[in-house]
A and B are shown apart, each in its own frame.
Chain A
């Protein structure tokens, strides 16, 4: 039988990434920050998976772990069929051009002593046989693609605004025609008109080159625009993974509901009447996560079981994965809303504030 489903370019299985905590004069290993604690998902070839969630929940760490910028604490990462979980630096080298990253912090990721054309051309020196003239031509092409004026090529990063610096980072990531790009808040520092240009550019490149993206962002309106599926993380774990339209029309996980209700709308009249779910309680620390469900300390729908048992991520409807004790598996005719009687209707989540 022919396998008709799209190919999985990225496969992540029970990924764990712990940062050790050392304390005392002897710097003894006394615990771990469980930045990523058992995350599984696939990314299909040519798709964009949005990754959203609380500040500090481990999104960047997932992105960096997928590219093996860290050694994994557990789990498997497969890129384009190759298991890269345990590869050495040398073994990773030929695979690196396939996978690239656009960083969250443009300031920290650009070498201040290199000119723009050196920065963009650096991966070409390392990974291609292009001569100086060939590299130069490619650098200028990349600068055009990301909307950087060619006359800036010999300037240094500090001479640019935050937004301009981010475009330099994107040009560099595109240099080697990668298959998979982790975009870690790539447009957060850009002004909205440039965001639209960059997002259109990312979409054009995806169409043209069949690129696959992990798009990490806190801009849920933009994620709705660009992503095919969306993964909502909370404290190192996946809370919900759903196709875009399902998630935005009817978020199932209580955290996903709160998240969507908190998005500001660009309309001052709507903003004065809008009701939100303002989450209470502390954001737990990943060094000391709560027992049971990671979200139980802030969840408006919390029950006793949530404080003792961690809910597994289950497929509750076709393509919809939710980690919540109170989201029922959808029966053929029924809805997928929470089963509690006071459960809110889809799209009415704002009324709970």
Chain B
């Protein structure tokens, strides 16, 4: 991808807060990132670090209240999704932006057949007739590897296994050939042979359709296999982003470094005990005024308590939000 190309999606300073009985939860704190045409951006990060809320905020899928999107700009081409009227958003969601979210059971409606749920966006956005939509739905189910596709259109979600429901969600997301696909742990519940097929499928669709993809996963193996660029989130912020090879070869942020060490491997010596990142995720009751990782960081010094680090470039297309890393860079220079 040429660096200069205009991004399909450009997010600046997105800020989302939840109002709960226990006070505010600052889930997303000034998140900025961009997505280039045809690019696959991998997103990794601590459980609760705001990956899902970021993506739901940017396509306006969070109920407000309890969510409160306090700021930011989400440019899809020349539309700002943050301020666009509801009907514009409805025309974008499921059409220009397809999405697959965690927890397939909550995303598929249990009282409608799988077929009718796949056909809904086709009829709504593509103006297809019932017959056309049925054909396309069969094609989509076959595409994601559901056997007996035509018969299975009449099944209800509970009659499918977890993995099959997730493949249905992927089929729905792909229905209208979106420009951007947001996939939130789309293969988490899948068996690896099916995952391998879906990853091949995604590589294929990117080539064919030039779709840009945001792929959230906990599986660093998947990231290593398909991402062009990786964004690491921690405590509602982006703490590091880099081209994929660079991230694995030269992780900079102490959280990223620790993260890469915690995964068990398929080959080589078995560790007696897995390496863990000690401590607990931060409690996000207020806008951060210090580094969110400091309580668990082995490199913490005074500045980490006094000031939330901003992202600084440390290499080509590689930036990191860490006082310690930036200090070390300066020392080397």
Contact = CB atoms under 8 A, between A and B. Distances in A.
A56 B189 contact: no
A285 B159 CA distance: 12
Interface string A45-72: 0000000111111001000000000000
A55 B191 contact: yes
Nearest to A204: B273
A39 B283 CA distance: 46
B270 interface: yes
A235 to B, nearest CB: 11
A24 to B, nearest CB: 13
B52 A162 contact: yes
Interface in B42-90: 44-49, 52
A283 B46 contact: no
Contacts of B271: 225
Given A265-B224, A283-B145, A193 B48 contact: no
B106 A107 contact: yes
Interface string A151-195: 100110001111110000000000000000000010011111111
B280 interface: yes
A303 to B, nearest CB: 21
A190 B218 contact: yes
Contact of A162 (B102, B222, B260): B102
B4 interface: no
A257 B265 CA distance: 17
Contacts of B22: 151, 154-155, 159
Interface stretch (B114-122, B161-169, B311-319): B161-169
Interface string B143-175: 001011000000000001111100000000000
A278 B188 contact: no
Interface stretch (B130-138, B193-201, B302-310, B320-328): B193-201
A140 interface: no
A91 B190 CA distance: 36
B126 to A, nearest CB: 27
A266 B25 CA distance: 32
Interface string A254-276: 00001110111111111100001
Contacts of B275: 196
Nearest to B285: A151
A55 B190 contact: yes
A130 B331 CA distance: 60
A265 B263 CA distance: 10
A304 interface: no
A271 B259 CA distance: 19
Interface in B252-293: 258-260, 262-267, 270-271, 273-277, 280, 283
Contacts of A104: 162, 189
Interface residues of B, number: 65
Contacts of A278: 193, 196-197, 200
B283 A151 contact: yes
A265 B277 CA distance: 21
A105 B195 CA distance: 19
A60 B161 contact: yes
B188 to A, nearest CB: 5
Contact of A193 (B148, B164, B224, B277): B277
A322 to B, nearest CB: 18
Contacts, number: 186
A309 B23 CA distance: 64
Contacts of B192: 218, 220, 259, 262-264
B220 A262 contact: no
Given A192-B259, A267-B224, A162 B47 contact: yes
A224 B194 contact: no
Interface in A232-290: 248, 258-260, 262-271, 276, 278-279, 282-285, 288
Nearest to A58: B161
B218 A267 contact: no
A108 interface: yes
Interface in A55-112: 55-57, 60, 104-105, 107-108
Q: Bin chain A's interface residue count.
A: 35 or more
A335 interface: no
B266 A260 contact: yes
B265 A105 contact: no
Contact of A163 (B47, B191, B270): B47
Contacts of B273: 200, 203
Contacts of B250: none
The residue among B105, B200, B220, B274 with the most chain A CB atoms within 10 A of its own CB is B274
Contacts of A56: 160-161, 163-164
B299 interface: no
B276 A200 contact: yes
Contacts of B162: 55, 60, 104-105, 185
B266 A259 contact: no
A260 B224 CA distance: 17
A269 B161 contact: no
B262 A195 contact: yes
Contacts of B148: 285, 288
A330 interface: no
A224 to B, nearest CB: 6
Given A56-B163, A161-B47, A191-B46, A267 B191 contact: no
A199 interface: yes
Nearest to B152: A285
Given A278-B196, A285-B147, A264 B105 contact: no
B20 A159 contact: yes
Closest 3 CB pairs of A and B: A55-B163, A163-B47, A264-B221
Given A162-B102, A262-B193, A284-B147, 4 more contacts: A155-B20, A159-B18, A197-B277, A218-B191
Interface of A: 52-57, 60, 104-105, 107-108, 147, 149, 151, 154-155, 159-164, 185, 188-197, 199-200, 203, 218-222, 224-225, 248, 258-260, 262-271, 276, 278-279, 282-285, 288
20 contacts: A54-B163, A54-B191, A155-B20, A159-B22, A164-B47, A164-B48, A192-B263, A193-B276, A218-B189, A218-B192, A221-B263, A259-B191, A264-B195, A264-B219, A264-B225, A266-B224, A267-B248, A268-B248, A269-B245, A271-B221
